[in-house]
Amino acid sequence: MIPLPTGLRARLVITFTLVAVTASTLVATIGFELAKTALVTRTETTSLDLVTRELSNIDFPVGKLQPGEAAPTTQELDRVAQTLSAPGRGVIIEYGDLVSVTGPMVLSDVPNELYGRTKQSVVTQRRVIRNELWFVVGAEVYRDNAGVPQATGLRAFVFFPMRADVSQLNALRARLFQGGIAIVLIAVVVSLLSARQVLLPVRRLSAAAQALGEGKLDTRLPVHGHDELAGLTARFNDAAAALELSVSELRSLEAMSRRFVADVSHELRTPLTAMTAVADVLSEEADRLPDAPAEAVRLVLREVERLRELVEHLIEISRFDAGTAMLNLEPVNVADAIGDCLETRGWTDQVKVNASRGLTGNLDPRRFDVIVANLVGNALKHGLPPVVVTARSTENGLEVKVRDHGKGIPREALPHVFDRFFKAGAGRTRSQGSGLGLAIARANVHLHGGTISVRTQDPGTLFTVWLPHS
């Protein structure tokens, strides 16, 4: 199946061409029919006039003879036939038993219908005889008898060849076809030029829209004329200007919010340091306090730890938003890096590691530690043991997988697990954690030029990190 063109240029050209073909075909058909009618009418009129005139000039007695009149002879019939004949023309004169023939025709060539109607009037018929078109005129000679026309029995059949007319019509058809081809070619050229003129502003608008999509918000187009395309261009410029203003305002607000988060996070560090020091002192005394004050102290310690984690995460996020996060790559033993990460946080006994001792990668050690810590911490907090970390080398990078065996993340929450402050399920909204850990892990993975994904298992959840060879 041939695919239909979908481009506006192609549709314009096809439409122009179809209109030109239809118009030229209609004009050629009407012109040909008019010429054919005029030519055939002229031939028939001339032929009828000739036969009628020559038959009216017969000067020998025919029909009901008067006293002293002699019946016509074969020579007289031949003389009438000769007056009606011409090169290529056939003439048959019949009078009783006498028949005079000149030309290529015989009496059997006369159509039966025309032969029968000849007794009543002058009749004509176009007929193909021996693969050639002829115009046949049949007439019977009438004699005036006391003012009353009387049939004489003398009949004439004249065959006029129409090969000249057919040749002229064929030549006219060829000329009309050639003219139609020329009109179609002209229409195609005109349609191409017109389509180019019409589509040039459209292409400019498309290029300008693409530039806007690429972030070039100062893109504008010159407005020429006062037609619909000029109005569309003017509206595009207005929309681009409004978009540039809105984006500028949004960027300004976004920059302000980033500065606010960064400033607040840094300002919180000082009182948080003091609170942490006090919390350390209180933690040493908590075991010697009564139950109620001891529980209050432990609650304060947990909330201070949550606050410290939140502030650190906010500071890290603000670095990514500001574009100041740097990547310091160096050769790293992956198994040792994972082991150090778990040991530092006291997770060694809770996590199983499957990694070759000789597996190395060109990584940022600190950011790789953050990636592993956030994924393993998430598995320990929200999943069930065993938690397994698997690392292996692929053809073009390093693959690290972290899996737990809990009830898993709801499918509707999977697309959002890396969003900031997102916590799957109502039970997690007050759980320990800032809701920024997975977002920070993804940002660090992307900073390495890698990818991170999540999918459900049976049971549990599997996070997969891929980091390219640098």
Under the banding of pLDDT at 50, 70 and 90, the label for residue 400 is very high
User: For domain 217-325, which architecture applies?
Assistant: Orthogonal Bundle (1.10)
Portions of the chain given CATH number 3.30.565.10: 326-468
Asked if 436 and 261 count as a contact pair (C-beta separation under 8 A), the reply is: no
What DSSP designation does 436 have? Answer: -
Q: Is residue 6's pLDDT more than 70?
A: no
- 8-169 classified as CATH 2.60.40: no
Q: Count CB atoms within 10 A of the CB of residue 406.
A: 18
**Domain 326-468 CATH (choose: 3.30.470.10, 1.10.760.10, 3.40.50.80, 3.30.565.10):** 3.30.565.10
Exposed/middle/buried for residue 349 (C-beta within 10 Å: 0-12, 13-18, 19+): exposed
Q: What is the CA radius of gyration of the chain?
A: 53
Q: Is residue 353's pLDDT more than 80?
A: yes
Portions of the chain given CATH number 3.30.450: 8-169
Stated pTM of the model: 0.47
Portions of the chain given CATH number 1.10.287.130: 217-325
> What is the average pLDDT across 327-350?
90
pLDDT tens sequence across 95-122: 888 889 998 888 888 888 888 888 777 8
CA angle 275, 279, 280 (to 5 degrees): 120
Per-residue pLDDT, 429: 46
